[in-house]
Structure 1
């Protein structure tokens, strides 16, 4: 979950000059940073159990409105674990497990991080997703099947305070948080968090307005806005945040002050505690552009200092289509976390638009994958990009499978598959896409290995070859987008070489209809797919 402004919308995605980018990535040269920064986070973080020798794959196991009609979400996940393991999933990103503001809150409306569905608070013991015991059971089952679990950490804000407090604050311009709209004044805010249902278990901290930097509701005047809380100890917003809207410290709810000693102690302790309690293996870090970078880096480092946590997985959500901005943040974290490749997502989204003229030969340009492949967690869609959500940028069905082939079969980055594309749901399910996506996952697990050769033939049709290795066959991929709305076009054909290990070999497509291809004595073959489609071949 994150916020966006008009300047971030997909249609305004801009390419960055190669000169600017070359300066940004010059720090990756040996000796310019830490060893971890030089090699990239994916080269040393755990992407799944060490016993797994195949291609690691992440799955986001929820949509925005996920609810199972018969069992809790945690029980649903546990029941699916054997099937996920069979698909080749090695890592699952679960929704925030913490108590929300109400029974059906997704957890991004974070009330109490220390309540994982254990205490009677906000009118419920369970969270939207189930009870703490069910969560622990599901994670234990996942680990027994070779799947690690990521906890979604919502560290930026709190919501659903227990009491109103009166204090001083300054109204600021929502479009420029560095500009005051008036003098300091008295306001009332829902900033008292007593957690009376938890009785001080795990953490004794009771939060007040002193622990926050801002809010968006003055209960005294019943007015919305952005208010900067005045404190003798603190001087304004954090400076170590994104510069969008002047200063993007504030996102929503009541914004946490990560410089407060009590807050720091509580949150630094929680990070290690929640992994120990649940059996989780790492984190998805929500909305990091709004969180003090220095604190978050300390938070990550503190977790990694715990026994057995040195390779704990971290992936950060920094929502911007501008790769320069993402790379700046990636540099600030010095190789300690991977980043979701939002710029690549927007390339896929733009290529999928009706009558798109997107040049597929440049599909990876301007992405994290292009410049820092060992820091890129690639994805096609997620809960925020769904139709109707605040960051709507859905990859249309006409290009969905092509997009998945690009992130699953090329062997670059760490791909994350979306539950909404794989499982029946009320929001975004397409049965045909789900069926074909499962076949792509099978190819990733069994065949997509070895050297990569690109064949960037046309702006509307490209191909690539994975040559295989000693234990895996490799595969051949051709994908295309629809060209200018023209129908009835002949299939696109690309002549590709599969390597010396597959000369005179018979390749069969995984999707019907498909004609088999026999390679020549030199390894060449003519591989075709209809316009606006995808075909993948594996040798017999």
Structure 2
């Protein structure tokens, strides 16, 4: 806020250049919408106006017709004062004239907060002024200058920005019904005759209610869905770039045609499945054909098996056309459960929509065995259970050879489901004995047989080890072989295999209750097209972006986005995640990976490069599944700060435990694994719910900065004995599980099964009894608290699980005599 204004005498000698507001400034669309170009300038304060900004009311009658300036001012001061030059050239006495509450329309929100004020200065053609609070605070223009208006008219001052209010636009012309159908009307119009260049868009009204808004260059709109044989009245108005709406056109009346066939139901999905049932859901057709939908017919493997009606209040049973008022053409999502499935069987479903309620199928049609008809593939035969079905001349067949009636839609696209238990998606804090397997290593992309095929062949062994999460490599097409320089997000063909192979792997993993984890690489993205500067800044594959999507301070590429406030990389363009379009596209892609491809959990790559708050939003956009972030840092305090910044939505790879455990196993000194109060070190001991423990991954196994691979088979087994019996969620590296020999695979499988049998989970309690040179001993309970027992170590196990390591030996198991011990 500027310092107090000078006295009246000093004001006359104010040398600072005032901010001027005229009426002929150029209009810059998209960069400065408050600077306007006017074909004609108002010279009076208008008494009659149709704009919301200029209502016809008693207060407006007080306005003087003639030269003058009206100022509308937004301020929290209650009230503000206006210190200004009067018509005779002198300044008002400080603080000036008190401003009154604004009585004009169009500012309802601000008026409700009593933050909009107005002043009328009569008989002036120019005004220099400074608002103030009546005391010591003054609202000066940028640069500590006075505001100046040089043309009579109505102005708005808000946030230091002075803007002339232009007249609302004239009504559009030539409104007509361009096309009329049974369920839609296409209306068209022409721009206003005057000042069309100031029009920002149009509003379409049906029967007096707004139904659509269009852009300035959209001069027609298709209004649907509508009832057939119904008359509708339409008008259109124009809206200027200051959001002032003009008068509406004269009304035109249009009558729709006779109702026809509806479109197919939309968004048919398998919403749940088990060994005993399959649940479906779908939406009402976007175009109902001019009449409400009375019922849906459901087909399984091509055979009519059920009739499902929407809400009874929406349509009446058997109605062929609307009657009695205007019934709703849309209804809530419809749900149906098939309880006649057989465990392990696959089924295909599709649905039709009908204006009438057909007879139900015969009882033998639901869940019965299909018989193959002559010339018709099994499961694709004509409907034989419709009861009062239309005559043959009213029937037509679609590509699936399903017969539909005269008032019935074609079937929607079919969906497939298998009668098996549905995958339970992991979430942070689950008390399930989760184990994650990293399903690849650094060289997996070079497998000549296709890596996805290799992983699919190993699924039975993975399931046998009770592993519940499978971390797969980045799925998108990438510039590099490993997938960490992504380019085409929706192209799932990569060096790891083809899209069909990935989808097959994911489907079979889910059937085995193994949750596929997607490696989300969105900090950076490689462009595939050259921009105007000649470098690669254009994205030609979906999502399609330009240089605006790249941060302006990228070390290699000249991006036009906002500067990054986080860590940039040099090997690919850093994406500007502050851009709303980028955020929208990321969320859409993640939902596609979840809903269409089948991933159930997230691994976030290189989270140092973009906002943790946005990372939390991205996780929430797909329902907050289990998510783990790659934040490579050995200080637990740094990782705790990140967890706080991401609002606790993501776990982290426990690098502090990785470093401590590596040192302990190699030196046989386990003291570094214990911190205060006999709890584990690292994130495991501080926030086990958000701990993903590991001893190796695709980076550490080949990077010399960490000393190369973790160790030999005996060292690896001892380390996994620690992870698999402790809180947090342990991650096993593919190479350790499958490539170190059959004996190690079997021992790791025993340890994994021990975790499952004892019900150990991320919240399990742990008490470290001994942790020093040559010995580590701890008690672990599936409960969140674990107390020290009495007597010698071997007798203190009670009902807890224990782990012991010393010399060249390890022991992990339950109470003496129970199964599941591994030694």
Name the larger-Rg structure. Answer: 2
Are 1:458 and 2:772 counterparts?
yes
2:464–2:749 CA contact under 8 A, matched in 1: no
In structure 2, relative to structure 1, the CA distance for the partners of 1:140 and 1:338 (3 Å cut) is: same
Residues 86-113 of structure 1 show CA distances to partners (whole Å, capped at 9, x for unaligned) of: 11011111111110115xx111111111
Number of the residue aligned with 1:369: 684
Matches within 5 A, 1:504-519: none
Farther-moved stretch of structure 1 (367-376 vs 433-442): 433-442
In 2, Cα distance between equivalents of 1:251 and 1:46 = 36
Are 1:340 and 2:678 counterparts?
no
In structure 2, relative to structure 1, the CA distance for the partners of 1:529 and 1:370 (3 Å cut) is: closer
Are 1:533 and 2:806 counterparts?
no
2:661–2:719 CA contact under 8 A, matched in 1: yes
Are 1:208 and 2:554 counterparts?
no
Coordinate RMSD, CA, aligned: 3.5
Matches within 5 A, 1:189-200: 189-195=535-541
Matches within 5 A, 1:282-297: 282-297=601-616
Number of the residue aligned with 1:132: 499
Are 1:302 and 2:621 counterparts?
yes
Residues 220-270 of structure 1 show CA distances to partners (whole Å, capped at 9, x for unaligned) of: xxxxxx347464x63x22x2x3xxxxxx13353111111223322211211
More helix by share: 1
1:48–1:91 CA contact under 8 A, matched in 2: no
Are 1:359 and 2:671 counterparts?
yes
In structure 2, relative to structure 1, the CA distance for the partners of 1:46 and 1:140 (3 Å cut) is: closer
2:724–2:730 CA contact under 8 A, matched in 1: yes
1:460 to partner: Cα distance: 3.0
Matched residue SS, 1:256: coil
In 1, Cα distance between equivalents of 2:805 and 2:461 = 30
Residues 341-388 of structure 1 show CA distances to partners (whole Å, capped at 9, x for unaligned) of: 1111111222244x5756255377551111111111111111110134
Matched residue SS, 1:387: coil
Matches within 5 A, 1:77-96: 77-96=455-474
1:215–1:254 CA contact under 8 A, matched in 2: no
1:46 to partner: Cα distance: 4.1
In 1, Cα distance between equivalents of 2:545 and 2:460 = 41
Are 1:401 and 2:401 counterparts?
no
2:557–2:573 CA contact under 8 A, matched in 1: no
Residues 384-437 of structure 1 show CA distances to partners (whole Å, capped at 9, x for unaligned) of: 101346765532225322221111012x1111111110112xxxx466544432
Number of the residue aligned with 1:184: none
Residues 193-231 of structure 1 show CA distances to partners (whole Å, capped at 9, x for unaligned) of: 213xxxxxxx4x423222111687xxxxxxxxx347464
Matched residue SS, 2:482: coil
1:467–1:499 CA contact under 8 A, matched in 2: no
Matched residue SS, 1:347: helix
Number of the residue aligned with 1:58: 436
Are 1:273 and 2:600 counterparts?
no
Matched residue SS, 2:811: strand
In 1, Cα distance between equivalents of 2:647 and 2:489 = 27
Q: Which has the higher contact order (CA 8 A, sep 6+)?
A: 1
Farther-moved stretch of structure 1 (286-295 vs 376-385): 286-295
1:313 to partner: Cα distance: 1.6
In structure 2, relative to structure 1, the CA distance for the partners of 1:382 and 1:230 (3 Å cut) is: closer
In structure 2, relative to structure 1, the CA distance for the partners of 1:501 and 1:297 (3 Å cut) is: closer
1:496 to partner: Cα distance: 3.5
TM-score, normalised with respect to structure 1: 0.63
Are 1:264 and 2:578 counterparts?
no
1:457 to partner: Cα distance: 5.0
Match of 1:164 among 506, 530, 554: 530
1:136 to partner: Cα distance: 1.1
Number of the residue aligned with 1:330: 643
2:664–2:673 CA contact under 8 A, matched in 1: no
1:215–1:252 CA contact under 8 A, matched in 2: no
Structure 1, gaps ≥5 residues long: 1-44, 118-126, 168-187, 196-202, 217-225, 242-247, 305-310, 475-493, 510-526
In structure 2, relative to structure 1, the CA distance for the partners of 1:109 and 1:68 (3 Å cut) is: closer
1:93–1:150 CA contact under 8 A, matched in 2: yes
In 2, Cα distance between equivalents of 1:194 and 1:318 = 31
1:377–1:413 CA contact under 8 A, matched in 2: yes
TM-score, normalised with respect to structure 2: 0.42
1:340 to partner: Cα distance: 1.3
In 2, Cα distance between equivalents of 1:228 and 1:162 = 13
In 1, Cα distance between equivalents of 2:452 and 2:536 = 31
Matches within 5 A, 1:407-486: 407-410=723-726, 412-424=727-739, 429=740, 433-447=744-758, 449=760, 452-456=766-770, 458-466=772-780
Number of the residue aligned with 1:151: 518
In 1, Cα distance between equivalents of 2:806 and 2:681 = 28
Number of the residue aligned with 2:289: none
Match of 2:695 among 369, 373, 380: 380
1:128 to partner: Cα distance: 1.1
2:426–2:601 CA contact under 8 A, matched in 1: no
1:500 to partner: Cα distance: 4.9
Match of 1:249 among 568, 583, 586: 568
1:165 to partner: Cα distance: 3.2
* Aligned length, in residue pairs: 381
Matched residue SS, 1:255: coil
Number of the residue aligned with 1:72: 450
2:674–2:771 CA contact under 8 A, matched in 1: no
Number of the residue aligned with 1:20: none
In 1, Cα distance between equivalents of 2:617 and 2:758 = 40
In 2, Cα distance between equivalents of 1:301 and 1:213 = 24
1:142–1:148 CA contact under 8 A, matched in 2: yes
Matched residue SS, 2:777: strand
2:479–2:485 CA contact under 8 A, matched in 1: yes
Residues 468-520 of structure 1 show CA distances to partners (whole Å, capped at 9, x for unaligned) of: 89xxxx9xxxxxxxxxxxxxxxxxxx734345569xxxx9x9xxxxxxxxxxx
Residues 272-307 of structure 1 show CA distances to partners (whole Å, capped at 9, x for unaligned) of: 111112111121110101122232222222222xxx
In 2, Cα distance between equivalents of 1:277 and 1:385 = 32
